[in-house]
C-alpha cells in the first residue's frame, strides 16, 4: 500500500526523537490519513534536502489563473456543479420516498395524531464540514520518501511472513535411510 508524498505539519503533546538527529521534538509530519508519520525538528523542515513546503496558492483563483481560465468558464463550471448537486439531492429524496416502510409509519402516525419523530425539513444526517487546512503542507525529498516507502514495504512483508509461516510444512525429522 503506497501513499502520496504529501505531509501535514502537526504538533504533539509529548516530545519524541527526531527521525534524522534523534533530538526530542514535538513536530510531526503525517499524511492525511496518518498511514505514515515521522517526527522531525523544525530545522530539518527548512532544509530543502529533507522536505519542501507547499504553498497554498496552487488552488482557488490563483490556480485558475495558472490554467488560463476566465471568469466566464469558472462560472459555467460552477453552475454545472450546482445542477449536479441538485440532481443528487433529488435522487436521494426519491430513494427515501420509495422506501415504503418509512412512509407507512409516517402515514400511520399522522392518522393517529401522533407527531412524527423526525422534525419536518431536518436533514437525515448533518453534513460534516471539512475543517480548514490550517496545517502547513510539505513534500519529502524523493530519496527520503523512497526510504519511507521501503520501510513500510518491509513492515508489510514482515507481517505477511508471520501470517504465512504457521501454514508452511515443517522439515522432515526422520532418519534418512
Mean pLDDT by groups of 10 residues along the chain of 177 residues: 87 94 95 91 92 74 61 84 89 74 54 52 50 77 94 94 89 82
Burial 103-129 (b: 16+ CB within 10 A, else e): eeeeeeeeeeeeeeeeeeeeeeeeeee
Q: For residue 120, give Cα distances in angstroms to 34, 87, 96, 116.
A: 39, 21, 14, 8
SS (H, E, C) 15-57: EEECCCCCCEEEEEEECCCCCCEEECCHHHHCCCCCEEEECHH
The three three-digit cell numbers of residue 35, written as one number: 498511514
For the chain, the structural domain boundaries read 7-53+136-158
CA proximity to 45, closest of 130, 120, 140, 114 = 140
Q: What is the pLDDT of residue 68?
A: 64
Q: What is the pLDDT of residue 10?
A: 94
Q: What is the pLDDT of residue 28?
A: 95
Are the CB atoms for 18 and 37 separated by under 8 Å? no
Q: What is the pLDDT of residue 55?
A: 82
Q: What is the pLDDT of residue 78?
A: 87
Q: What is the pLDDT of residue 122?
A: 47
Q: What is the pLDDT of residue 123?
A: 46
- CA–CA dist 46, 172 (Å, integer): 58
- CA–CA dist 138, 148 (Å, integer): 14
Amino acid at each position: 500500500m503506497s501513499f502520496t508524498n504529501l505531509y501535514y505539519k502537526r504538533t504533539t503533546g509529548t516530545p519524541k526523537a527526531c527521525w534524522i538527529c534523534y533530538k526530542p521534538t514535538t513536530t510531526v509530519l503525517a499524511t492525511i490519513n496518518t498511514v505514515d508519520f515521522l517526527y522531525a525538528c523544525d530545522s530539518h523542515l527548512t532544509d530543502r534536502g529533507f522536505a519542501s513546503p507547499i504553498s497554498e496558492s496552487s488552488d482557488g483563483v490563483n490556480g485558475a489563473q495558472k490554467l488560463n481560465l476566465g471568469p466566464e468558464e469558472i462560472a459555467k463550471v460552477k453552475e454545472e456543479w450546482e445542477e449536479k448537486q441538485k440532481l443528487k439531492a433529488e435522487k436521494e429524496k426519491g430513494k427515501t420516498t420509495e422506501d415504503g416502510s418509512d412512509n407507512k409509519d409516517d402515514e400511520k402516525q399522522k392518522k393517529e395524531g401522533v407527531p412524527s419523530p423526525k422534525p419536518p425539513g431536518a436533514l437525515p444526517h448533518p453534513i460534516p464540514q471539512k475543517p480548514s487546512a490550517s496545517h502547513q503542507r510539505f513534500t519529502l525529498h524523493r530519496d527520503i520518501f523512497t526510504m519511507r516507502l521501503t520501510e513500510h514495504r518491509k513492515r508489510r512483508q514482515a507481517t505477511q511472513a508471520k501470517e504465512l509461516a504457521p501454514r508452511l510444512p515443517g522439515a522432515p525429522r526422520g532418519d534418512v535411510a
